[in-house]
Amino acid sequence: MEKLPVVPDRVIVPCGPECRVYRPISTMPQCLKCHGPLEELQPEIRAFLAQHYPGDNATSYSVYQWRGVIRVSLAAAEPATSGRNK
Ligand code: HEC
């Protein structure tokens, strides 16, 4: 069993003008069905990728690799204006 690297599940940056949540994208064993070494992919998956994603470089990943980050930004709510709408 491979050891999971110690990375935070998510990081929440305190709200200023906007709130941000960062979440790492890391590969899990099931990702390698499509992202593993080309020669280890099932022939059907390989053919599908070749047809629909020509020039795909997203193979030869290994398990528990850091592959990017998802960032969600939310604008902080505007302060309430006392009884006045625009
Ligand atoms: C059913 C097949 C399939 C599975 C399973 C899959 N992916 Fe993908 N993934 C794709 C395809 C297709 C693309 C788009 C490749 C392209 O645009 O050339 C992609 C793109 C990506 C990219 C962007 C690559 C880049 O640099 O543009 C990342 C990162 C990624 N996948 C991570 C994951 C992770 C992590 C998992 C597991 C949680 C996963 N994928 C599971 C098919 C899959």
Say yes or no to pLDDT of 20 above 80.
yes
Q: What is the mean pLDDT of residues 14-43?
A: 91
Q: Domain range for residue 48? A: 11-75
- Cβ < 6 A, ligand 1 pocket: 25, 27-28, 30-31, 33-35, 49, 53, 56, 58, 67-68
Residue 5 within any structural domain of the chain:
no
Residue 15 within any structural domain of the chain:
yes
The answer to whether the CB of 34 falls within 8 A of the CB of 49 is yes
Residue 47 within any structural domain of the chain:
yes
Residue 69 within any structural domain of the chain:
yes
Q: How far is ligand 1, taken at its centre, from the CA of residue 58, in Å?
A: 6
Of the pLDDT bands very low, low, confident and very high (cuts 50, 70, 90), residue 18 is: confident
pLDDT on residue 14: 73
pLDDT on residue 69: 93
SS (H, E, C) 10-32: CEEECCCCEEEEEEEEECCHHHH
The answer to whether the CB of 24 falls within 8 A of the CB of 69 is yes
pLDDT on residue 10: 78
Residue 27 within any structural domain of the chain:
yes
| Structural domains in the chain (count) | 1
Say yes or no to pLDDT of 48 above 70.
yes
pLDDT on residue 84: 56
